[in-house]
Amino acid sequence: MSAGGGAVAEASPSPSLNRHHRRRIVAIIAITVTEPSPTIPTVPAKPIRRLAACVEYCGAAYSGWQYQANAPSVQARVERAVSRVADADTRVSAAGRTDAGVHGGGQVIHFDTRARRSAHEWLRGVNTHLPDDIKLLWTREVGGDFHARFAAFERGYRYVIFNRAVAPTYLRERVAWHPMPVAVQPMRRAAAALIGRHDFSAFRGAHCQAKHPFRTLRRIDLGHAGAWIWLDFSADGFLHHMVRNIAGTLLRIGEGHEAAEWAGEILAGRDRAAAGPTAPAAGLYLTRVTYAPRHRLPPPPPACRFW
């Protein structure tokens, strides 16, 4: 109605205009639905490779191989250096966990990485970031089934004794000093009683975490040259402090405090308190770890010697 009361006709929307708008809307929707969106090319991830390496170290300045939150460890140093070369945080697994003050001449490790480096680049790069008392001797790519600890079927240790009245100077923390004179032949006879598969509870450290005390001790060779005495051990595995406890027991026999037969009696008794003392860590070296030939690892390095 108008102000004057007359009727006013309202214009209706143009049917043709409405159809035009509808066609545009449908076209826009169709374009939006059918037009392919641009794709971002993906870069395939580099395959993971497993590398093995041999580590040589002097353990005098470290709390042992295994990482510890509040003490320096060989593992922490090695992981830091490997991570620098790999450009990624990298964890390593080792064949054995040596104690504080124990040395490694043939420790074997493995780690996984996506980094592409040659064996020479790994060796030179990691050693550049390691301190003077830790170095890699070699690196090799291995199969995914290789494990530094679980693939090993034999380990070797050498225990080095410096037998003179005066304490060593430049050899301090590198050898076990024993000032009392010892006789080597009774020690050899005593060591023979320990060869074979036995319950080695009498030579097991109090903090040993092994599931059982049985080990197969395949060899104990005792060498002697002047003031030097060395013991070479080979076994399928060792209990915590096992080598050092055997060395301490053999030294008691060498000093003449006990007969050679005492070692066998101690073994049969399975009582740690009845055996000899734990020999010092400074004389102990992890010299070699043995694996199946299919892994194609280099031979173990020569065992340490000072004589």
On the question of pLDDT at 144 being above 60, the answer is yes
pLDDT at 35: 55
On the question of pLDDT at 33 being above 60, the answer is no
- Of the three residues 142, 165, 182, the one that is the final residue of a domain is 142
Is residue 234 located within the same domain as residue 169? yes
Place of tokens 């250096």: 81
Q: Assess if residue 85 is contained within a domain.
A: yes
Q: What is the mean pLDDT of the chain?
A: 90
Is residue 79 located within the same domain as residue 209? no
Is residue 189 located within the same domain as residue 90? no
Q: What is the CATH number of the domain that holds 243?
A: 3.30.70.660
Q: Assess if residue 147 is contained within a domain.
A: no
Is residue 177 located within the same domain as residue 122? no
Q: Assess if residue 41 is contained within a domain.
A: no
Specify the pTM: 0.85
**Catalytic (active-site) positions:** 99
pLDDT at 307: 85
Confidence of residue 46 (pLDDT cuts 50, 70, 90): confident
pLDDT at 21: 56
Q: Assess if residue 175 is contained within a domain.
A: yes
% pLDDT > 70, the chain: 86
Count of structural domains, the chain: 2
On the question of pLDDT at 17 being above 90, the answer is no
Is residue 200 located within the same domain as residue 238? yes
On the question of pLDDT at 234 being above 70, the answer is yes
Which residues are within 8 A (CB) of 253 and not within 5 positions of it... i.e. 6 or more apart? 186, 187, 190, 259, 260, 262, 263
42-46, 282-286, 291-295: range with lowest mean pLDDT: 42-46
- Of the three residues 100, 119, 142, the one that is the final residue of a domain is 142
- Of the three residues 119, 142, 165, the one that is the final residue of a domain is 142
Q: What is the CATH number of the domain that holds 136?
A: 3.30.70.580
pLDDT at 286: 98
Confidence of residue 2 (pLDDT cuts 50, 70, 90): very low
Q: Assess if residue 284 is contained within a domain.
A: yes
Cα dist from 100 to 72, 97, 103, 130, 263, whole Å: 10, 10, 9, 19, 26
Which residues are within 8 A (CB) of 96 and not within 5 positions of it... i.e. 6 or more apart? 65, 107, 149, 155, 238, 286, 289
Q: Assess if residue 39 is contained within a domain.
A: no
Residue 245's domain comprises: 154-292
Is residue 161 located within the same domain as residue 182? yes
On the question of pLDDT at 122 being above 80, the answer is yes
Is residue 79 located within the same domain as residue 101? yes
Is residue 158 located within the same domain as residue 260? yes
pLDDT in tens, 151-186: 999 999 999 999 999 999 999 999 999 999 999 999
Is residue 108 located within the same domain as residue 83? yes
* Residue whose C-alpha is closest to residue 146's, from 52, 54, 286, 66: 52
Is residue 274 located within the same domain as residue 159? yes
Q: Assess if residue 2 is contained within a domain.
A: no
Q: Assess if residue 15 is contained within a domain.
A: no
On the question of pLDDT at 42 being above 70, the answer is no
